[in-house]
Amino acid sequence: MQKAKLADAVKSCYLFAGAERQSVEALADASYVWKSSAGETLFQTGDAADGLRIVLSGLVRIWIADAEGRELTLALLEPGDPFGEIALLDGLPRSANATAIESSECLILPCKAMEEVLATDPALGRHLIQLLCELLRRNIVAIGGFAFSGLGGRLALKLHELALSHGTVEAGSARLNRKFSQSELAAMLGVTREAVNKRMTALAHDGLVSVDAGLITVPSLTALAARANAEARLGA
């Protein structure tokens, strides 16, 4: 990939919004593209950090597993999304696994290049701290959802999030752009597929979602969010 395109890929990532031109160019000079086939592991929990990654194409799953092999999907990342920033900044081993769901390309920004840029661009460092604080706040909200909501509320909230991040929104409704199987939804919530099946049936019965050829449609994002909030209040 040409240097100009590498620089554009760096600038398009929200982590580097407002970064100085010299910083972007330095990162672009040091970065390279890594191609992965569907199902390929990009890194595993405990691996040493080699750099920050930015998805250029495809879809990447970030997930964790317990000692019994149960998996929990933390995020599904699309082009423009960064990942691996925690290990990059604290120098500790990877805290999660990353797998390419589809054939994907990622831009890799090596740790050393990031360290050198942060040493010369303090404004970028402050920006990254603010973003990490925002991520922490979101995680606190997510933990609260798991603690106080039943599965129906958690599923409604997750479908609402997926509709906004992976769907086409129009006039208050949304249609997801890719298929999410009940097994995938179960992995995002840390439950069984059978449990998700029951809750999806209930949401469909109430007109909050519909499924056509594997694609989920949310007729009213407001109504789905209201269901999630109502169940959270009941749980609390």
Average pLDDT in the 142-150 region? 72
Tens digits of residue pLDDT in 188-213: 998 999 999 999 999 999 999 999 99
Question: Which residues pair with residue 217 across a beta bridge?
Answer: 175, 210
Residue 168, pLDDT > 60, answer yes
Looking at per-residue pLDDT, the higher value among 59 and 69 belongs to: 59
Over the chain, what is the mean pLDDT? 90
Average pLDDT in the 80-84 region? 92
Closest to 104 (Cα-Cα) out of 143, 157, 50, 54:
54
Spatial distance between the Cα atoms of 81 and 100, rounded to a whole number of angstroms: 13
* Residue 235 confidence (pLDDT): 52
Average pLDDT in the 75-93 region? 88
Q: pLDDT-derived band of residue 137, with 50, 70 and 90 as boundaries?
A: confident
CA 109 to chain centre: 18
> Dihedral angle at the C-alpha atoms of 163, 13, 15, 82, nearest 10 degrees?
60
Spatial distance between the Cα atoms of 75 and 92, rounded to a whole number of angstroms: 20
Residue 70, pLDDT > 90, answer no
Q: pLDDT-derived band of residue 232, with 50, 70 and 90 as boundaries?
A: low
Residue 17, pLDDT > 90, answer no
